[in-house]
Amino acid sequence: MSPNAKKNILYSLVLLGLVLIVYLYRNTTGSTTTNDDLARKKGLITWDGKFMNQPYLFLFYPERPNLESKLDSLLTYQEQLYLMESPRSELYQLNRQDSLPQPSKELLSLLKMATQDASSSENTWDPSSGILYQGWVFSSSRAAMKDSANIPALLENVGMNKFLLSDTLIQKSKSGVKVDFSDYGKAIALAQVARMLEKEGIQNYFLQLGRHSLAKGVNERKELWKYKTQYPDSLGKAKEGLIAVQTKAVATAGSFTQSYPQDSIRKAWVLDPRTGYPLNHGLLQTTVLAKDPKAAALLSESLLVRGWQEAIRIDSARKDVEMVLVYYKKGKGLTTYSSPELKSFLSFPIQ
């Protein structure tokens, strides 16, 4: 073959490669444009922002007049209920005083509801347990108690039953007890947003606020909404997967990427609010699907404390919740469990 013929073949191959690159580029960008056009055509509305320093994303359709201002007002009002750093908020005052006279009906209702929820979880969830973390330091190699830590003394300041409630006074039985409703409030606020959308006749939406999500209906392609999550591959590396959500709330607690080795397993960076000490099992991450955001949030945290064996038992006993668990099992390593009825809604395999 002559040099010119070889050169012509080489030029042809280069040209074919360039044509292929342009074709692929146009198809890729064209696909994105088509998706965007489809979303606009279907009237998908996208709102994002921050609530209590956490990002939120609301997707829904169709559009409704004046809805943005209504939602802004709702979120502003909800945020004021759970703020702890503003001297004007009741929670700020309650956390710094032994008593709070003439509390608002909203605060009393919030404390009563949280007390009931803590009791229902057998105190595996407790919004007053944050003080316990002052006594510990977690790292990828261990959980270490601080030199000056007095765990029994810290534990005396934990428990929603230490708030004595009446219509005219909130009294603490221990002056050091404090509550943190920032996560609890996000779940409640998300439910309030959903109620407002449904009052406006909106039946298709996906709402995400921090670790909390709530979906109803279908997206603009008439498909189930998708919730992003992380799962471990066969080597234990974090991969991104999707859960198709059919009119449910979803919450994830813990992360299998944040753990430390001890007793031939890996343990979560989580304390048991009942003891003040790190957990003794290998459950690292829980994702719970339930009927509303508060139920999903509370159970996801409660299961993280109870452990994977108790979580699987609860999953078998209850038909109103579904879950995905990531835990470390002796002799097997990282293991992923899913409720049997949920497996067909997952984009990733369960080992």
Q: What is the per-residue pLDDT for 42? A: 57
Q: Do residues 154 and 255 both lie within one domain?
A: no
Total Cβ atoms within 10 A of residue 323: 23
* Residue 68 reports pLDDT greater than 60: yes
The percentage of the chain sitting over the pLDDT mark of 70, rounded to a whole number, equals 88
Is 57 inside any structural domain? no
Coil, helix or strand at residue 223: coil
Provide the sign of the torsion angle of the four alpha carbons 191, 192, 194, 195, taken in this order.
positive
Give the model confidence (pLDDT) of 253-294 as tens digits.
999 999 999 999 999 999 999 999 999 999 999 999 999 999
Domain of residue 137 covers: 85-180
Query: 223: Cβ–Cβ under 8 A, 6 or more apart, which residues?
Result: 244
Q: Which of 12-16, 137-141, 298-302, 313-317 has the lowest mean pLDDT?
A: 12-16
Is 25 inside any structural domain? no
* Residue 168 reports pLDDT greater than 60: yes
Give the model confidence (pLDDT) of 186-229 as tens digits.
999 999 999 999 999 999 999 999 999 999 999 999 999 999 99
Q: What is the per-residue pLDDT for 8? A: 38
Coil, helix or strand at residue 330: coil
Q: Do residues 243 and 336 both lie within one domain?
A: yes
The CATH number for 279's domain is: 3.10.520.10
User: Could you tell me the pTM of the whole model?
Assistant: 0.86
Is 32 inside any structural domain? no
Nearest to 187 by CA among 296, 98, 276: 296
Number of structural domains (the chain) is 2
Is 285 inside any structural domain? yes
